[in-house]
Structure 1
Amino acid sequence: MLALGALVLGTSELGVAGLLPRIGADLEISAGAAGGLVSVYAVAVALLGPPLAAVTGRLSRRRVLLGALGALAVGNGVTALASCFPALLAARALTGAAAAMYAVTALAMATTLTGPERRGRAVATVFGGITVSAVIGVPVSTLLGDVFGWRAVYGALGALTMGVLVAAVRLVPEPAPEPPSNMSSRIRALADARLLVTFAGNAVVTAGHYMASTYFVVLLTRQTGLSTTTVGVLLLTSGVSGTVGTIVGGAAADRHPRRGLSTATALLAISLAAIPLVITSPVLIWLLALLWAAAFNAFSTAAQVNVSLQAHPAADVAAAVNISVFNVGIAIGSAFGGLVLQLAGFTGIALTGAALALAGLTATLLVPILAPAPASRPCQADLRTAR
């Protein structure tokens, strides 16, 4: 149920990219201005997610989840009905804030309902909804937009979100309450040096991935020589591979959180570094794309689990911060990728992305060095006194 909500969320977020030409033509704005719909959504997620998680931390998680779904439905509905560009921007900001709140709450509820020993698989299940939205939801919304128009797509998404809300009311239970924690302990957890290094590493790795992935289609059509249809099939299979990576990353995070995160990051760096070597071979670039997609999705899942483990008792706010960190990495990677493309071409993008992934891997390996020393064990005399 939580994954289904994530699927609707992901389609609402990612589907707008394929609808931008029609939105621009309908509202008589430029393609660059229409692209602001993507930016305002990301900004809302990055800026509003953490404070909303902090404010709602003491409320019933079930009520927060249902409220987020309701706000998401309203945001999609207003998007469908917006008659001017400012109203559309406001609707996208509302949708982004609701999505951030839903994602954080769904992740927290999933891990609570399944127990700590299945935390990684719970996160993978919720994240899997977003991954599937990229594979299925986005192409379907683009196709429906071509046939029925972009407003019909977001009207349908609003109705679908309401359907998920009704189902969640009936099916999603109230999880067991978390142990109470005071504000000072939550602040100390968020300010811990290990967690700050983890956030920085996650942002850097995400930036490296999106620096290359943003321009991957251009690379395939111009350098590898693949047709548009073949590129579409390649992206579809990469999405399936990414879904598998999400599942594997979740299972690995349950067994060895840090090792799973390090392995996924290393595979991502290797994939990016190998792009210049196979750039002219359609078969090899296809196989490399499958490994690349699986590695990044495994990294994303393991990174979220790793943050939750480090940030107790502020895991909910830390999860929101980490989602913001991902969005910051996306913005930085896609923006600087265009500059690197102009200066160093596709090879430069791939190698720079690999270097960023290696920098993030270094941060991951550095975290245990920053870990505090374990508390000293009581001496035998103390134990005898206690008895």
Structure 2
Amino acid sequence: MRELLASGLVLLAAGSAVSAAAPDFTVMSAGQLLIGAGVGLSYSVAIAAVAEWTSPDERSRVLALVLLGPPAAWIVGMPLSGLVGDVSWRLVWVVVPLTSAVAALVVLVQRHSTPPAAARADLLAVLRYPGVVRWSIGELLAFSAWAGSLVFIGALFIESYGLSVAATGLLLGAGAVVYVPGNLLFRRWIDEHDRVLLVGLAFGAAATVVVLGAYRGRPRSVSLRTRCSRFWLEGGRWQEARTGSTSLPSCVFA
């Protein structure tokens, strides 16, 4: 687990450095590819590490804290990125993601490696495990919706409403605050109403996005509707992550 987390953080740091120094769009795209791989690897391994590094009694509490990591990064990082971006977009990659990845690596290397999982399996064996394919498809769709909304809402504020980079960063950081109550609120109900909540939250997020696209409104109104969609998405992400960390097989690839 530690080595996989470190690999993800190294990819994130390398992608940030490449993006900061990119002379053209092609190199920038390569840097973004590294960043995407690093974020995906580090985030998925962090969720898997909850089951590996915690006892069943404390698993829900620790998982809730892990899932608060991305919104916490947005709450702090987006306003900071907006302010630094008014100076130089290249500097943003150094001040926020590169520095954060290096700091996380420093903390991670102080933790001892854990023993390998008791069972080893290839990818096909894992996919044949009941529920893995359905869970993976749900994760793919949820992350696509989550990433798409976050990427394009910033462009909407800047290009359509004419907001500055700093103002856009502040709005996005404020919008991420709703992830916190979404995480803490739905955690209390998930054990008894998991399926109902998952379906209801998915429809709630979808309906909010439809309203977001159909009605233009002012920036404040768009920001409010974006916060609503994030509130629903965070509840759904909590359920998906809980299922993955508690119900799927504990094994490593051979």
Provide TM-score, normalisation by structure 1. 0.51
Q: Which residue of 2 aligns with 1:91?
A: 31
Question: Is contact 1:111-1:118 (8 Å) kept?
Answer: no
Assess if the C-alpha contact under 8 Å between 2:82 and 2:170 holds in 1: no
Summarize deviations over 1:302-348 as a string: whole Å, max 9, x none.
1122233342135x78xxxxxxxxxxxxxxxxxxxxxxxxxxxxxxx
Classify the secondary structure of the residue corresponding to 1:182: strand
Structure 2 partner of 1:238: 175
Q: Does 1:181 align with 2:119?
A: yes
Contact 2:48 2:245 in 1 (8 A): no
2:230 is matched with which residue?
Answer: 293
Task: Quote the Cα distance in structure 2 between the aligned partners of 1:91 and 1:196.
Answer: 30
- What residue in structure 2 maps to residue 79 of structure 1? 19
Change in Cα spacing, 1:281 to 1:153, as seen in structure 2 (3 Å) is closer
Q: What amino acid is the match of 2:239?
A: A
Choose which of 116, 132, 141 in structure 1 pairs with 2:72. 132
| Matched AA of 2:118 | P
CA distance in 1 between counterparts of 2:26 and 2:7 reads: 24
Q: Which amino acid aligns with 1:306?
A: T
The 5 Å alignment of 1:366-385 reads none
| Bigger Rg, which one | 1
Q: 1:154 matched to which residue of 2?
A: 93
Counterpart CA distance in 2 for 1:146 and 1:304 is 36
Structure 1 residues 299 and 67, CA, compared in 2 at 3 Å: closer, same or farther? same
Cα 1:168–1:117 change in 2 (3 A) is same
Q: CA deviation at 1:278?
A: 8.8
Q: Given the superposition, is the C-alpha separation of residues 66 and 266 from structure 1 closer, same or farther in structure 2, using an over 3 Å criterion?
A: same
Partner of residue 309 from structure 1, selected from 242, 246, 252:
246
More helix by share: 1
Q: Find out whether 1:166 has 2:121 as its counterpart.
A: no
Give the superposed CA RMSD. Answer: 4.1
In structure 2, the CA distance between the partners of 1:216 and 1:146, relative to structure 1 (3 Å rule), is: closer
Residue 249 of structure 2 aligns to a residue in which SS? coil
Distance across 2 between alignment mates of 1:83 and 1:231 = 25
CA 1:197–1:122: 2 relative to 1, 3 Å: same
Q: How far, CA to CA, are the matches of 1:104 and 1:85 in structure 2? A: 28
The SS at the match of 1:116 is coil
Task: After TM superposition, give the deviation of residue 241 of structure 1 in Å.
Answer: 1.0
Residues 1:64 and 1:256: Cα distance change in structure 2 (over 3 Å):
same
Distance 1:117 1:206 in 2: 28
Q: Note closer, same or farther for the CA distance 1:119–1:263 as it changes in structure 2 (3 Å cut).
A: farther
Q: SS of 1:72's equivalent?
A: helix
Pairing partner for 1:115 from 32, 41, 55: 55
Matches within 5 A, 1:1-387: 61-147=1-87, 149-156=88-95, 157-170=97-110, 172-175=111-114, 177=115, 179-183=117-121, 187-192=124-129, 194-204=131-141, 235-253=172-190, 257-269=194-206, 271-272=208-209, 289-314=226-251
Preserved contact between residue 208 and residue 225 of structure 2 (Cα < 8 Å): yes
Cα deviation, 1:330-387, whole Å, max 9, x if unaligned, reads xxxxxxxxxxxxxxxxxxxxxxxxxxxxxxxxxxxxxxxxxxxxxxxxxxxxxxxxxx
Whether contact under 8 Å (1:238, 1:290) holds in the other structure is yes
Q: In 2, are the aligned partners of 1:120 and 1:249 still within 8 Å (CA)?
A: no
SS state at 2:46 partner? helix
Distance 1:85 1:261, change over 3 A: same
- Cα 1:155–1:288 change in 2 (3 A) is closer
Q: Is the 8 A contact 1:253 1:302 kept in 2?
A: yes
Consecutive unaligned residues of structure 2, counting only runs of 5 or more, are none
Deviations 1:229-283 (A, max 9, x none): 9988765543211232133344544665444423432443554577699987999
Counterpart AA for 1:182: R
In the TM superposition, what is the alpha-carbon distance from 1:166 to its structure 2 partner? 1.6
Note the alpha carbon deviations across 1:156-191, whole angstroms, 9 max, x for none: 342442232222223x3444x35421326x633313
Cα-to-partner distance string for 1:106-147 (whole Å, 9 max, x where unaligned): 222233223234434433322322112233312311220212
Q: Contact 1:135 / 1:236 at 8 angstroms: preserved in 2? A: yes
Native 8 Å contact 1:120 1:251 kept in 2: no
Q: Which SS does the other structure have where 2:109 is aligned?
A: helix
1-side partners of 2:169 and 2:18: how far apart? 31
